[in-house]
Amino acid sequence: MFPLPHLALKPREKLETGFLLPLRNIVLLPGVTLPVVAGRPRSVSVAESVMMTEQKQVIIAAVRPEAVQKLEKEEKAEIESLEELYPIATLAVVHKMLRLPVGPIQLIIEGQERVRIEQLLQTEPTYIVKFERLPNLTVEAAIAAGAQQQSIQALTSALKSLWQEAASLNPNFPEEVLTVLLNIESPAQLAYQTAILLQQEVPKMQTLLEQNDLELLLRQVLADLQKEIEVLRLRGEILGETKKEIDQQQKEFFLRQQLKKIQEELGEVDSEKQEIEELRSRLATANLPEPAEKQAKRELARLERIGSASAEGGVIRTYLDWLLEMPWNKTIEDNLDLQNAREVLDADHYGLSKIKDRIIEHLATFKLKRMARNEDTETEKPERHDERYSVGTVICFVGPPGTGKTSLGRSIARALGRPFERIGLGGLRDEAELRGHRRTYIGAMPGRIVQALHRAGVKNPVIMLDELDKIGMDYRGDPASVLLEILDPQQNYSFRDLYLDLDFDLSQILFIGTANDLSRVPAPLLDRLEIIELSGYSEEEKLAIAEQYLLPRQIEKAGLPANAVQLSTETLRQIIELYTREAGVRKLEQQLGTLCRKVAVRYASGETTPTIVHPEQLEELLGPPHFWREEKRKVSRPGVATGLAWTVQGGEILFVEAVLLPQGKDLTLTGQLGEVMQESAKLAYSYIWSNADALGIDVSAFKSNGLHLHVPAGAIPKDGPSAGVTMVVAIASLLTNQPVRTDTAMTGEIDLSGEVLPIGGVREKVLAARRAGITRIILPKQNEKDLAEVPQDAREKMEFILCDRIEQVLENALVRRQMNQPVV
Ligand SMILES: Nc1ncnc2c1ncn2[C@@H]1O[C@H](COP(=O)(O)OP(=O)(O)OP(=O)(O)O)[C@@H](O)[C@H]1O
């Protein structure tokens, strides 16, 4: 038997000794009576010891939540130190102890006053602490400490009236509790009871217990109660609205039933019944595959039950429409005459002979596989998706905008006699766009593939997947993986759209892809594609396309007779040069469209003589030119050289500018150059420094000045090694004070020994130079073979200088003159 501590019997002394019962998840407030459970060995021991004392008093302290977590993690039952407890606790009296035959002891305890625990004297077998009593929160004490009596009164009565409001908002609130609350006289008691009824978390309750200022205590619980009332009010509103909705639905249902009865009595036709009948007869003749038919029947039965006037009925109706209108078994017979295909391609497109050849080859394979399948189906009925009959790859046109990718796809469809549908993939990030949304979503729709098939009305259209290089990916899924599934003959015969929720056979669709930039097409997709590259057109090709295709088409579109607009070759040339600067012919077509519409206005107002457009009239009809020949002017000072670049838009010319800085010794680079391009700049700089003598350059320029190399336009990122040659020329031009020839552009990679290495995109670069009015091009010798790709007119009108050493480049690029001779 352990010695009994002397409990709370010495009011003269400040510190007293008492038993401690630590509680998890409970804060006991003064004046509040609670049942608690003592199950752990030390708590049982405390309970038993307390019951042996006369006053039956015990200190109740809450265990800190972080200590509770730690104890649980470490699987410990008992606390061991004061740090694990909140030091402000409550002195309580045990009214009753209930000991059951099995299980823990139950105690009924009532909080009496607040105390501060000073020391944990003993932990085993019972907890014993030293504590100090804290002053009670009475009105008198509060007034003595400076509080206003009126404000305490006002807060107390506000609290009571809020309780009345809370009770009125909650029909389950017991009336006796409200009566008790309204009759509490002590403001502190009212506050503590409020806190208990609001059932707040331990830390929050503990702050209330620790509050020494009565007025603040009242304000805190008042705010909490107000919040609770707000929640009650909102809940009431929400419940009210939902109920109203349900009532409305029920009312509609009964009214509809009544209407049906009345109509039956009057012998009138029920419009809903009629609708169901109509759907049923459509279903009977739709010839759906078995799973689709089953699904349709199930949904029809549901519609009959629910009625189509309800919201749910509307959803089912739309779904049934989609199901019945899909071309499950409808195909169109192909025209596989290759001669006809060639004629159609020629009729729609100028030139592009190699590309047309590739298309015809693809169609030939397609035809042979089809014939093989047709023969075999007569004998062995192979699976639709049998490997032997799949064309395998999907053709994909890659090239700058406006070079005819989409229109070639359209021509293929026309040649085969199939409908053509285009699916733009630009900016697509959500898998659901392709695969559809489940019907459980509000406003759900099938994906774009199913929509395209629905529009086409047959299951074997030509579908163009436009801009394969612009698909994205994010948390909504990976559209590229859906595309893979769509294009894979092993999978696409049973493509599942989430809206239809049925398999659809996509294997008979002829897919064609397009992209501007091959490097951005996801790699797994690339494996499935047979790439056909289109490049930009030369000026002569553009002239021919405009004369033979674009202008007649635009004249017809504007509703004019065939000869209404006549353009001389010179006029067309000026439109190409001054109003468009592009690899393709999209803008050219737009400008011709604008011109035709202007003429259409004249025609419509009665001037019906054919309009011959001369170059001088262009400004009046199309506005001021969009481009000038400013490039030539710019390159006339030493330190500026014209380079050639390849971009997704086609070729472009770019300038490399070099200036000496008065101070520093380093190389400064600007113009958003990529890593490879920065390396080219460093190579150029090092090459010139190390060969300064041979090039006739004063080395002191390097020693005492910094060099700044800039490639406008600074906001456009640029990269690649092919500007190496241009950078050497720009630096050499600056340091020898010899300008670069204004009619010359160059491209080529360099190495430290001064070799000129080959580059890519020759055709596009040459065409870009030609568009910019350049007549001489310096190219790496190893690129000579690529000149065969350059259109003949450009080849004839331009001079090509092929170099394998940088000295040859400098020799041909710089305007040789004596030092100090004025710049030409
Ligand atoms: N060789 C050509 N002969 C006749 N018309 C052409 C030729 N090339 C392009 N066009 C016409 O130019 C216009 C633009 O072509 P299209 O829309 O096919 O470009 P695109 O390559 O698909 O461009 P984008 O990459 O922007 O989709 C069309 O009206 C097309 O008929």
Q: What is the pLDDT of residues 784-795, one digit of tens each?
A: 998 888 888 888
- d(CA 438, CA 598) in angstroms, rounded, equals 49
**631-813, CATH topology level:** Ribosomal Protein S5; domain 2 (3.30.230)
What are the distances in angstroms from CA 112 to CA 60, 394, 453? 10, 85, 79
Atom 25 of ligand 1 has which residue's CA nearest to it?
401
- d(CA 115, CA 59) in angstroms, rounded, equals 8
pLDDT band at 58 (very low <50, low <70, confident <90, very high): very high
Residue 93 has pLDDT above 90, yes or no: yes
What are the distances in angstroms from CA 670 to CA 677, 704, 723? 11, 21, 14
513 Cβ closer than 6 Å to some ligand 1 atom: no
Burial (Cβ within 10 Å: 0-12, 13-18, ≥19) of residue 824: exposed
Tokens matching residue 101: 């035959």
Q: So what's the pLDDT on residue 376?
A: 60
pLDDT in tens, 256-279: 777 777 777 776 666 777 788 888
**Among the listed residues 534, 539, 625, the one whose alpha carbon sits nearest the alpha carbon of residue 582:** 539
Taking CA 493 as the corner, what is the angle to CA 491 and CA 496, rounded to the nearest 5 degrees?
A: 80
Tokens matching residue 328: 């499950």
Q: So what's the pLDDT on residue 700?
A: 78
Residues 6+ apart with CB under 8 A from 373: 382, 386, 388, 389
Q: So what's the pLDDT on residue 635?
A: 47
- Annotated catalytic residue within 49, 535, 722, 733: 722
Helix, coil or strand: residue 706? strand
Taking CA 381 as the corner, what is the angle to CA 380 and CA 387, rounded to the nearest 5 degrees?
A: 100
- d(CA 24, CA 62) in angstroms, rounded, equals 6
- d(CA 395, CA 188) in angstroms, rounded, equals 83
- d(CA 460, CA 221) in angstroms, rounded, equals 72
**Ranges 1-10, 142-151, 341-350, most confident:** 341-350
**Among the listed residues 356, 465, 365, the one whose alpha carbon sits nearest the alpha carbon of residue 411:** 356
Q: So what's the pLDDT on residue 823?
A: 37
* Distance (Å) from CA 407 to ligand 1 centroid: 6
> Among the atoms of ligand 1, which is closest to the Cα of residue 541?
1
Determine how many CB atoms are found less than 10 A away from the CB of residue 793: 15
pLDDT band at 317 (very low <50, low <70, confident <90, very high): confident
Select from 537, 547, 585 the residue to mutate for testing ligand 1; criterion: most ligand atoms less than 8 Å from CB: 585
* Distance (Å) from CA 400 to ligand 1 centroid: 10
Q: Average of pLDDT values for 603-609?
A: 79
Q: What is the DSSP string of 123-137?
A: -SSS-EEEEEE----
| First-residue to last-residue Cα distance in the chain | 116
Count the helix, strand and coil residues of the chain and give each as a percent rounded to the nearest 5.
50, 20, 35
3-class SS letters over 538-577: CHHHHHHHHHHHHHHHHHHHCCCCCCCEEECHHHHHHHHH
CB 764 within 8 A of CB 811: no
Residue 77 has pLDDT above 90, yes or no: no
Give the architecture-level CATH label for domain 15-133.
Answer: Roll (2.30)
Residue 89 has pLDDT above 90, yes or no: yes
Q: Average of pLDDT values for 558-576?
A: 83
Tell me 78's DSSP state. S
Q: List the beta bridge partners of residue 97.
A: 107
Active site residue 10: no
pLDDT in tens, 445-454: 898 999 999 9
pLDDT in tens, 684-716: 888 888 888 888 887 777 777 888 988 886 555
- d(CA 139, CA 142) in angstroms, rounded, equals 5
Q: So what's the pLDDT on residue 114?
A: 93
CB 532 within 8 A of CB 398: yes
What are the distances in angstroms from CA 219 to CA 109, 189, 343? 27, 14, 89
Q: So what's the pLDDT on residue 632?
A: 47
Select from 348, 406, 410, 465 the residue to mutate for testing ligand 1; criterion: most ligand atoms less than 8 Å from CB: 406
**338-533, CATH topology level:** Rossmann fold (3.40.50)
- The lowest-confidence range among 80-84, 118-122, 375-379, 812-816 is 375-379
Q: So what's the pLDDT on residue 383?
A: 54
537 Cβ closer than 6 Å to some ligand 1 atom: no
Taking CA 224 as the corner, what is the angle to CA 218 and CA 225, rounded to the nearest 5 degrees?
A: 85
Assess if CATH 3.40.50.150 describes domain 539-622.
no
Phi, psi of 23 (to 5 degrees): -120, 140
In percent, the amount of the chain with pLDDT more than 90 equals 11
Residue predicted with more confidence, 380 or 557? 557
407 Cβ closer than 6 Å to some ligand 1 atom: yes
Strands 510-515 and 502-504: unpaired
Q: So what's the pLDDT on residue 391?
A: 55
Q: So what's the pLDDT on residue 716?
A: 59
Is the dihedral angle over the CA atoms 342, 344, 345, 351 positive or is it negative? positive
Select from 355, 407, 412, 469 the residue to mutate for testing ligand 1; criterion: most ligand atoms less than 8 Å from CB: 407
Q: Average of pLDDT values for 421-435?
A: 84
> Among the atoms of ligand 1, which is closest to the Cα of residue 585?
12
Helices (H) and strands (E) in the chain, counts: 31, 24
Atom 4 of ligand 1 has which residue's CA nearest to it?
349
Residue predicted with more confidence, 189 or 9? 189
Complex confidence, ipTM: 0.96
Tokens matching residue 698: 């004063």
Question: How far from the centroid of its chain's Cα atoms is residue 312's Cα?
Answer: 31
- d(CA 9, CA 6) in angstroms, rounded, equals 7
CB 435 within 8 A of CB 360: no
Q: So what's the pLDDT on residue 116?
A: 93
Helix axes 202-210, 214-266, angle to 10 degrees: 140
* Distance (Å) from CA 550 to ligand 1 centroid: 10
Q: So what's the pLDDT on residue 807?
A: 87
* Distance (Å) from CA 525 to ligand 1 centroid: 24
pLDDT in tens, 401-415: 888 899 999 999 998
- d(CA 105, CA 40) in angstroms, rounded, equals 10
Residue 575 has pLDDT above 60, yes or no: yes
Q: So what's the pLDDT on residue 22?
A: 92
Q: How many residues does the chain have?
A: 824
- The answer to whether 402 is a known ligand-binding residue is yes
Helix, coil or strand: residue 715? coil
CB 655 within 8 A of CB 662: no
Burial (Cβ within 10 Å: 0-12, 13-18, ≥19) of residue 3: exposed
The chain-wide mean pLDDT, for the chain, equals 83
* Distance (Å) from CA 272 to ligand 1 centroid: 50
What are the distances in angstroms from CA 111 to CA 54, 115, 559, 586? 17, 11, 95, 86
- The lowest-confidence range among 31-45, 555-569, 806-820 is 806-820
Tokens matching residue 373: 């399948």
Q: What is the DSSP string of 234-293?
A: HHHHHHHHHHHHHHHHHHHHHHHHHHHHHHHHHTPPPHHHHHHHHHHHHHHHS---HHHH
pLDDT band at 141 (very low <50, low <70, confident <90, very high): confident
The tokens 């060995």 sit on which residue? Answer: 41
Q: So what's the pLDDT on residue 824?
A: 32
Tokens matching residue 476: 């909504």
Phi, psi of 567 (to 5 degrees): -120, 135
pLDDT band at 9 (very low <50, low <70, confident <90, very high): very low
pLDDT band at 506 (very low <50, low <70, confident <90, very high): confident
Q: Using alpha carbons only, how large is the chain's radius of gyration in Å?
A: 44
Residue predicted with more confidence, 423 or 6? 423
**H or E element: which one contains 43?**
helix 41-51
pLDDT band at 648 (very low <50, low <70, confident <90, very high): low
CATH class held by domain 139-233: mainly alpha
Domain residue extents for the chain: 15-133, 139-233, 271-325, 338-533, 539-622, 631-813
- d(CA 505, CA 495) in angstroms, rounded, equals 6
Active site residue 308: no
pTM for the full model? 0.59
Tell me 805's DSSP state. B
- The lowest-confidence range among 254-258, 577-581, 613-617, 683-687 is 254-258
pLDDT in tens, 196-241: 888 888 888 999 999 888 888 999 989 988 888 888 888 878 877 7
